[in-house]
């Protein structure tokens, strides 16, 4: 939709939407250009108070109000512009966006259809028609989205084998068993993710949600390193234009090397908050019981609290930087398996031409274990420091296809040498969006 706004603005730049470049208006427009929306709003409102019939001042006030979350103010500003200039299609388009953000679907549709009747350029018309299709989808009580993904990968340490073949222990140096040495693997993986929503009332209210995720990898060493994962969830969601609250219950299954690893059941409440168009934040908690196939000593209650902040500088939504942090506790029945710690990460993405983007990430995880697990050989309780670095390229093809080439480097440094390891993983995947 932002493309439509930009093209429409260019289409009409020689008409009535040109800003008056004088005094407060000039300063306010400069603030809007440099994305200082708070200053722009104050400047435009000063101009509106001085000249309430100035269409340029009202249009600028509406744009700045939208960016700062003042939807009611934006609505009034755009309506004033149209009262002064009924043919101002830029204001009409922005009013439609504002109505949509306020949940007024029919009013939004009327404004977009009025812009279409004015005969906008072909790119603008195409974008508005896509937006109208989104409005129709939002009016349906049922909604569904999902993704199918196929990948090829290379992993130079698929079994998490130790970095050194000699391990320092209480008995002196011991050699790693051959079956525990790092194992290289080429393979394929397949994933399916689907999510469904059912509107329980009016738009912007409560939804029933359901989700299903399946993953499996296939390698020449399937009995040793293949990974299987499944998740199903049911819950409730409350959504507004600026906030979403998720309250799901979930069950999960993990397998490794064609053997059961663990199953779990729990809840995962979450919050997504978008105070400004360029900023968003998330918070999510996890409380679950883990049933390990290895036995009751390994079974655990697991808790995690996580939060992230994302900033999208500029008009291209692909430009983004995120910071995340989390704390966790796995309260196992046996102290040697009990662990707690924290995680932190920095992720970034930048849009490139030809519908391509580049991304990179750095993640850190500290895990501290409650006691010695192997009393005969382990000198002390484990402390593990893990770093992950990676990045890649992704490119979209059409509306639903995407290709991704990625690389990940993992290094785990442990106070017990048996758990020191490094991994290099390269993947090439293609995904298809289900809507």
Same domain, 324 and 189: yes
Same domain, 57 and 171: no
Q: Final residue of a domain: which of 78, 108, 139?
A: 139
Same domain, 131 and 155: no
Q: Final residue of a domain: which of 85, 110, 139?
A: 139
Same domain, 167 and 131: no
Exposed (0-12), middle (13-18) or buried (19+): which is 96, by Cβ within 10 Å? buried
Same domain, 176 and 245: yes
Same domain, 151 and 134: no
Exposed (0-12), middle (13-18) or buried (19+): which is 141, by Cβ within 10 Å? exposed
Cβ contact 283:260 at 8 Å:
no
Average pLDDT of the chain? 89
Query: Which residues of the chain have a pLDDT value below 50?
Result: 1-21
Same domain, 233 and 318: yes
Following DSSP, what letter does each residue of 150-215 receive, concatenated? EEEEEETTTT---S-SEEEETTEEEEPPGGGS---EEEEEEEEEEEEEEE-SSTTSEEEEEEEEEE
Same domain, 83 and 216: no
Q: What angle do CA 370, 324, 361 make, to 5 degrees?
A: 105
Q: What is residue 370's predicted lDDT score, i.e. its pLDDT?
A: 93
Q: 174 is in which domain, residue-wise? A: 142-434
Q: What is residue 241's predicted lDDT score, i.e. its pLDDT?
A: 73
Q: What is the pLDDT of residues 149-177, one digit of tens each?
A: 999 999 999 999 999 988 888 888 888 88
Q: What is residue 121's predicted lDDT score, i.e. its pLDDT?
A: 81
Q: What is residue 368's predicted lDDT score, i.e. its pLDDT?
A: 97
Q: Final residue of a domain: which of 89, 107, 139?
A: 139
Residues facing residue 361 across a β-bridge: 347, 390
Going by C-beta distance under 8 Å and a sequence separation of 6 or more, which residues neighbour residue 93?
A: 4, 5, 8, 111, 112, 115, 128
Sign of CA dihedral 93, 44, 69, 357: positive
CATH number, domain of 10, equals 1.25.40.10
Same domain, 124 and 184: no
Q: What is the pLDDT of residues 37-89, one digit of tens each?
A: 888 888 888 888 888 888 888 999 999 998 888 888 899 999 999 999 998 98
Same domain, 100 and 57: yes
Cβ contact 250:231 at 8 Å:
yes
Same domain, 85 and 170: no
Same domain, 173 and 107: no
Going by C-beta distance under 8 Å and a sequence separation of 6 or more, which residues neighbour residue 379?
A: 168, 169, 170, 415, 416
Count structural domains, the chain. Answer: 2
Which pTM does this prediction carry? 0.72
């Amino acid at each position: 939709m932002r493309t439509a706004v930009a093209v429409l603005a260019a289409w009409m730049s020689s008409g009535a939407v040109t800003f008056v470049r004088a005094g407060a208006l000039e300063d306010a427009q400069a603030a809007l250009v440099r994305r200082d929306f708070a200053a722009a709003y104050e400047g435009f409102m000063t101009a509106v108070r001085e000249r309430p019939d100035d269409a340029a001042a009202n249009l600028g006030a509406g744009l700045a109000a939208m960016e700062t979350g003042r939807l009611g103010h934006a609505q009034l500003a755009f309506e004033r512009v149209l009262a002064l200039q009924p043919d101002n299609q830029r204001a009409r388009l922005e009013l439609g966006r504002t109505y949509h953000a306020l949940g007024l679907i029919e009013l939004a549709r009327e404004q977009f259809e009025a812009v279409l009747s004015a005969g906008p350029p072909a790119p603008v018309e195409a974008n508005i028609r896509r937006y109208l299709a989104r409005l129709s989808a939002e009016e349906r009580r049922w909604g569904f989205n999902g993704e199918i993904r196929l990948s090829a990968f290379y992993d130079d340490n698929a079994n998490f084998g130790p970095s050194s073949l000699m391990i320092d222990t209480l008995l002196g140096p011991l050699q790693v068993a051959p079956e525990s040495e790092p194992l290289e693997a080429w393979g394929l993986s397949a994933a399916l993710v689907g999510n469904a929503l059912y509107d329980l009332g009016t738009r912007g209210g409560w939804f029933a949600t359901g989700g299903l995720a399946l993953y499996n990898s296939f390698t020449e060493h399937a009995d040793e390193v293949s990974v299987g994962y499944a998740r199903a969830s049911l819950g409730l969601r409350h959504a507004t234009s600026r906030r979403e609250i998720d309250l799901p219950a979930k069950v999960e299954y993990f397998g490794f090397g064609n053997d059961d690893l663990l199953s779990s059941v729990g809840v995962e409440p979450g919050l997504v908050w978008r105070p400004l168009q360029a900023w968003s934040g998330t918070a999510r908690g996890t409380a679950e019981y883990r049933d390990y196939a290895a036995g009751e000593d390994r079974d655990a209650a697991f808790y995690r609290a996580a939060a992230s902040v994302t900033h999208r500088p500029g008009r291209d939504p692909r430009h983004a930087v995120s910071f995340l942090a989390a704390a966790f506790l796995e309260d196992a029945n046996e102290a040697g398996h009990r662990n707690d710690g924290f995680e932190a990460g920095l992720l970034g993405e930048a849009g490139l031409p030809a519908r391509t983007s580049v991304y990179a990430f750095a993640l850190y995880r500290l895990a501290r274990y409650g006691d010695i697990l192997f009393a005969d050989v382990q000198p002390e309780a484990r402390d593990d420091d893990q770093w992950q670095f990676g990045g890649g390229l992704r490119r979209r093809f059409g509306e639903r296809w995407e290709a991704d080439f990625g690389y990940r480097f993992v290094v785990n440094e442990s106070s017990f040498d048996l758990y020191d390891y490094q991994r290099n993983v390269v993947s090439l995947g293609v995904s298809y969006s289900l809507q």
